[in-house]
Chain A
Amino acid sequence: MLPPCGGNGERLDRRTVLKAAVGLGLGATLCRVDVLAAEDDKTARPRKGDRFVFAYGERGGQVIALEDLPLGGPQQLAFPMDPVTKVIRDGSLLNQVALIRLDPAQLSADTRTEAAGGVVAYSAVCTHEGCPISMWHKDSKTLFCACHASRFDPADRARVVDGPAPRRLPMLPLGPIDRGIVAAGGFTGRVGRQTT
């Protein structure tokens, strides 16, 4: 018997291919491959079916439910989580997501198509310098970058309202809310800063 190294053997993904490649090698080797694969899952960008967990704080790692999001903001920082393996994709800060719950009637038409029950999800990495969009500007009801004060309108596909950010935050489409808050796909654009 090979040592149990976690993972899901039924998924024919990169992990399975790597296992096949090492063939009947030592269990320790397979275990290492599996660890590497887990690392891949931790750093992989969010994908369809992912759920969301609190990124930080006392509830860090717990799944975020609709009731955890106050109507009208502020946003909640989250990391995606593989729904099967439960691997939290916190291996890359570029995976930080801002979840916010708004009145569906206030969402622009093309925001509403990617929202679920008024909940919208955006990359929480500023398109200016890559800082976390961790703050909330109460007066303007906008997402606020903690480094250089860029502001984004969560009701309008994170349009840049103010500050040096050169473009909107990529959106993360959400699936029907009756299954909880679930990603319906990957980010709609490139995550992070504009230039290097």
Chain B
Amino acid sequence: MRMARKLVIVVAVLAIIVVPMLADAQRMGYRPVTDQRLAEPEPANWLMTRGNYQGWSYSPLDQINTYNVKKLAPVWAFSTGVDSGHQAPLLVNNGIMFVATPYNQVVALEAKTGKLLWRYKKEMPEGLSVLHNTSRGVALYGDKVYLATHDCVLVALDATTGKVAWERKVEDWKTGYYMTLAPLVAKGKVMVGVSGGEFGVRGFVAAFDANSGQPTWKTYTVPAPGEKGSETWTGDTWKKGGGSVWITGTYDPALNLTYWGTGNASPWFGDQRPGDNLYTSSTVAINPDTGKLAAHFQYQWNESWDWDEPDAPIVADFTKDGRTVKGLIKPARNGYLYRLERSADKISFVSATPYVKQNVFKSIDPTTGRPTYNEDRIPRTGKRADFCPSLWGGKDWPFAAYNPKTAMLYIPANDNHCGYMEGKVQKYEAGKWWTGVDIPDIGFAVDKTARHFGEVQAWDVSGNKRVWSHLFPDSMNWGPVMTTGGGLVFNGGTNDRYFRAFDASTGEVLWQFRTNSGITAPPVSFAVDGVQYIGVASGWGVDPAFQQGLLSDLLGWPKDVPQGGVVWVFAVAQ
């Protein structure tokens, strides 16, 4: 009887709480996401991680602009209920917002009001722990929401109910694989990449049928013997060669090529794996239909600084010597801003210009882009070397933004920091840390005389010159950038918890708002019922928190940047 009573109560509660939520979502008439919509996203929506396939992090909306942005005020806020690093954009499709949180939860909200529609929580296996417990977002396609999880499962959710439509194991998490990126969807395929470069995984991008979840192709970023590029590896080092893919790719529909960034080679010290080690620390172009690796560009051969290059390049054209270049633009972790040229079977080097202090490259070949190294700056097994920037690079994963109106690139940069390491040989154990150096032995240093550390830089892409910089003397910048048709640049990323709007042309700070925590998620813009909104999740954690601890010791910065995620939505006060 007691069980029956409990059951009745549970059913009643579900009827009271859940049914109206589902009804709300369904009543809103969910609009399926199509290839056409992804290729030409409506300005009112933010349908994918960086706003468009080209990775611009740009909203054409201009209702909020340089004149009225000072009146920007919160409309609603939503506490995610979890801590750690919130790094996911708020995807919006016709009034419904989807938010991925750390620990692989997904929340659906009414974008106009913040009303909760549904929440999904991935159940994790006992014993699972991951280095980065964050999520960098979900993907939308058809009537589904796709989430790549820490236990290396691709989950498809019903967009209106949050119920699981299907799940598909991508890899075995016990061997060190995990996933933190937002999937990329194109032409009916859901594409994901894997993290795990610190655990001796062999990186890959894999595609699954969006409807059924059936695996379609899997392309390793480290070639097997006999495959093109395998000559850049020695012996069996390729088997645990790293090259993880932990950030969403960009896509050029005209060339039908997706572009993915790859991470460090494993272990971290190049003398333990002689060779160039393709395709680590590279951009690779992959055909979404076949998985064929069509082209690549490697930023640093035989990588030895933990300079992952996971951030996929921005697909945008620029002019050079009077010629329009079909370009790829990437501010690399190695501290250089790259301009590349894309074609069906090649990624060609155009230019590389330092945007922060870097002391490893002696030169860069003007034709191939291949660097020569200062030997003294290469850490080896049993040999310490100091190098700048540190392993967090001139820019870590947080996205730069490209504004077609100003033709400028906006980079969340970090300067005046360096690292030092000495490698050792570590025995490989599946799923265990395997870099050649333990974390407490990774050195981090700063120039204590420097005027700044974090900054926002604006670059004229065609002119290849810096136009303005906003400097942060007391913080690094861990915030992805978003820019708008209203002539604005939005960015958080600092330890003072501020969310800022800059004039895209001049860099003047036009507005700022102190949020609950530090912002490490990409800002977005969308419109509902003709009103433009700016949205961002605030939630400090993971690498920014760890680095802040080191900076507290070095510079006396406050160690305690409060954690706990909150979704903020702003509009111009009427």
Pick from B84, B427, B441, B549: contact of A149, CB under 8 Å: B549
Does A173 lie at the interface of the complex (its beta carbon under 8 Å from any beta carbon of B)?
Answer: no
Does A144 lie at the interface of the complex (its beta carbon under 8 Å from any beta carbon of B)?
Answer: yes
Pick from B126, B128, B440: contact of A138, CB under 8 Å: B440
Does B453 lie at the interface of the complex (its beta carbon under 8 Å from any beta carbon of A)?
Answer: no
- Kindly specify which of B295-303, B329-337, B431-439 makes contact with the partner chain: B431-439
On whether the beta carbons of A137 and B440 are closer than 8 Å, the reply is: yes
Closest to A162 in B: B549
Shortest distance from the beta carbon of B353 to any chain A beta carbon, whole Å: 34
Which residues of B have CB within 8 Å of A136?
438, 440
Known: A148-B542, A149-B549. A132 touches B129 (CB 8 A): yes
Which residues of B have CB within 8 Å of A58?
427
- Kindly specify which of A12-20, A113-121, A123-131 makes contact with the partner chain: A123-131
A165-188 CB contact bits vs B (8 Å, 1 = yes)?
A: 000000000000000000000000
Residues of chain B from 91 to 145 with CB closer than 8 A to chain A in the complex: 126-131, 133
Does B545 lie at the interface of the complex (its beta carbon under 8 Å from any beta carbon of A)?
Answer: yes
On whether the beta carbons of A93 and B126 are closer than 8 Å, the reply is: yes
On whether the beta carbons of B549 and A144 are closer than 8 Å, the reply is: no
On whether the beta carbons of B440 and A56 are closer than 8 Å, the reply is: no
Does A108 lie at the interface of the complex (its beta carbon under 8 Å from any beta carbon of B)?
Answer: no
On whether the beta carbons of B128 and A148 are closer than 8 Å, the reply is: no
On whether the beta carbons of B129 and A149 are closer than 8 Å, the reply is: no
Pick from B133, B427, B433, B546: contact of A134, CB under 8 Å: B433
Closest to A55 in B: B429
On whether the beta carbons of A146 and B131 are closer than 8 Å, the reply is: yes
Whole-angstrom distance between the alpha carbons of A137 and B429 in the complex?
Answer: 21
Known: A129-B133, A147-B130. A135 touches B432 (CB 8 A): no
Whole-angstrom distance between the alpha carbons of A58 and B425 in the complex?
Answer: 14
Closest to A60 in B: B429
Does A97 lie at the interface of the complex (its beta carbon under 8 Å from any beta carbon of B)?
Answer: no
Q: What is the interface size of chain A, counting residues whose CB is below 8 A from a CB of the partner? A: 27
Residues of chain B from 439 to 482 with CB closer than 8 A to chain A in the complex: 439-441
Does A85 lie at the interface of the complex (its beta carbon under 8 Å from any beta carbon of B)?
Answer: no
Whole-angstrom distance between the alpha carbons of A147 and B128 in the complex?
Answer: 12
Does A3 lie at the interface of the complex (its beta carbon under 8 Å from any beta carbon of B)?
Answer: no
Pick from B127, B440, B563: contact of A94, CB under 8 Å: B127
- Counting chain B CB atoms within 10 Å of each CB, which of A58, A149, A193 scores highest? A149
Closest to A77 in B: B432
Whole-angstrom distance between the alpha carbons of A100 and B545 in the complex?
Answer: 28
Does A9 lie at the interface of the complex (its beta carbon under 8 Å from any beta carbon of B)?
Answer: no
Pick from A57, A135, A193: contact of B438, CB under 8 Å: A135
Number of A-B pairs, beta carbon distance below 8 Å: 61
Closest to B552 in A: A162
Shortest distance from the beta carbon of A185 to any chain B beta carbon, whole Å: 22
On whether the beta carbons of A92 and B546 are closer than 8 Å, the reply is: no
Whole-angstrom distance between the alpha carbons of A130 and B441 in the complex?
Answer: 22
B476-493 CB contact bits vs A (8 Å, 1 = yes)?
A: 000000000000000000
Does A70 lie at the interface of the complex (its beta carbon under 8 Å from any beta carbon of B)?
Answer: no
Closest to A193 in B: B129
Which residues of A have CB within 8 Å of B429?
56-57
Shortest distance from the beta carbon of B83 to any chain A beta carbon, whole Å: 8
Which residues of B have CB within 8 Å of A83?
none
On whether the beta carbons of A164 and B129 are closer than 8 Å, the reply is: no
- Counting chain A CB atoms within 10 Å of each CB, which of B129, B546, B549 scores highest? B129
Closest to B102 in A: A129
Does A189 lie at the interface of the complex (its beta carbon under 8 Å from any beta carbon of B)?
Answer: no
On whether the beta carbons of A164 and B433 are closer than 8 Å, the reply is: no
A130-166 CB contact bits vs B (8 Å, 1 = yes)?
A: 1110111111000010111100000000000011100
Whole-angstrom distance between the alpha carbons of A57 and B425 in the complex?
Answer: 13
Shortest distance from the beta carbon of B479 to any chain A beta carbon, whole Å: 20
Whole-angstrom distance between the alpha carbons of A146 and B440 in the complex?
Answer: 9
Which residues of B have CB within 8 Å of A144?
438-440
Shortest distance from the beta carbon of B431 to any chain A beta carbon, whole Å: 9
Shortest distance from the beta carbon of A52 to any chain B beta carbon, whole Å: 18
Whole-angstrom distance between the alpha carbons of A151 and B128 in the complex?
Answer: 20
On whether the beta carbons of B549 and A131 are closer than 8 Å, the reply is: no
Pick from A131, A135, A137: contact of B129, CB under 8 Å: A131
Closest to B82 in A: A195
Whole-angstrom distance between the alpha carbons of A131 and B129 in the complex?
Answer: 5
Known: A92-B127, A129-B133. A163 touches B549 (CB 8 A): yes
On whether the beta carbons of A129 and B549 are closer than 8 Å, the reply is: no
Known: A57-B429, A134-B432, A164-B545. A149 touches B439 (CB 8 A): yes
On whether the beta carbons of B439 and A56 are closer than 8 Å, the reply is: no
Which residues of B have CB within 8 Å of A126?
129
Pick from A137, A147, A193: contact of B131, CB under 8 Å: A147
Known: A56-B432, A149-B549. A130 touches B129 (CB 8 A): yes
Whole-angstrom distance between the alpha carbons of A138 and B501 in the complex?
Answer: 44
On whether the beta carbons of A129 and B129 are closer than 8 Å, the reply is: yes
Closest to A164 in B: B545
Residues of chain B from 530 to 546 with CB closer than 8 A to chain A in the complex: 542, 545-546
Which residues of B have CB within 8 Å of A130?
127-129
Pick from A137, A138, A148: contact of B545, CB under 8 Å: A148
Which residues of B have CB within 8 Å of A135?
433, 438-440
Going nearest first, the 9 A-B pairs with the smallest beta carbon separation are: A93-B127, A131-B129, A130-B129, A137-B440, A135-B438, A56-B429, A149-B546, A144-B440, A147-B131
Chain A residues at the B interface, C-beta cutoff of 8 Å? 56-58, 92-94, 125-126, 129-132, 134-139, 144, 146-149, 162-164, 193
Chain B residues at the A interface, C-beta cutoff of 8 Å? 84, 126-131, 133, 427, 429, 432-433, 438-441, 542, 545-546, 549, 563
Given contacts A57-B427, A93-B127, A131-B130, 7 further A-B contacts (CB under 8 A): A57-B429, A92-B127, A94-B126, A137-B440, A144-B439, A146-B131, A149-B549
29 residue pairs from A and B, CB less than 8 Å apart: A56-B432, A57-B427, A94-B127, A125-B129, A129-B133, A131-B129, A131-B130, A132-B129, A132-B432, A135-B433, A135-B438, A135-B440, A136-B438, A136-B440, A137-B440, A138-B440, A138-B441, A144-B439, A146-B131, A147-B130, A147-B133, A148-B545, A149-B546, A149-B549, A162-B549, A163-B549, A164-B545, A164-B563, A193-B129
